[in-house]
Amino acid sequence: MTTPEPAGPKARPFSLDEIESTEEIPIPTDPLDRVIGQERAVETARIAAFQRRHLLLVGPPGIGKSMTAQALALHLDRPRTEIRIVHNPENPERPTVELVSREEVYRERDAHRSLDGEQIHPSDAPTSVAERLGYRCGRCGFYSLPSDRYC
């Protein structure tokens, strides 16, 4: 993890008449320094990343919340564990929590990739399977994406 550093030296103000191309405008290497007009929010984001704390970004559209969050993610270490919520058949209203190491996640992913089998188009699947997965409408028989609300 990187320690919070003060923002780089402020660029000297310039007039648009002084530049011939946008290539002459220096772009900060740190994505957090690219957030314009939100100095306090950027400083708070740096502190939150360093202290590994939560940060709630609230405000109207277009003020840089998403850009700050994406830049903040680059200042955090990659997670070492994955938290999974697992169905508890004995008490469905109280699922269990499972912590899985990064290495185990990679092993599972590699094992999944090496499975024999083939992908098929939903129209090639049995009708009952396609309907249950949401690819085929049971009323009209039309195939669509499961995210489509109606056919």
Angle at 66 between CA 60 and CA 68, to 5 degrees: 105
Q: Quick check: 44 and 35 in contact, CB under 8 A?
A: no
Largest CA distance in the chain: 72
Residue spans of the domains in the chain: they are 16-73, 81-113, 119-151
pLDDT, averaged per 10 consecutive residues of the chain (151 residues), comes to 50 76 87 90 93 93 92 90 92 93 91 76 86 85 77 68
Beta bridge pairs of residue 101: 81
Residue 83 has a pLDDT of 94
Angle at 31 between CA 10 and CA 49, to 5 degrees: 100
- Considering the entire predicted model, what is its pTM? 0.49
Rounded Cα distance, 122 and 129, in Å:
9
| Residue 103, CA atoms < 13 Å, CB-side half-sphere | 0
Residue 59 has a pLDDT of 92
Residue 57 has a pLDDT of 93
Residue 9 has a pLDDT of 52
Residue 6 has a pLDDT of 47
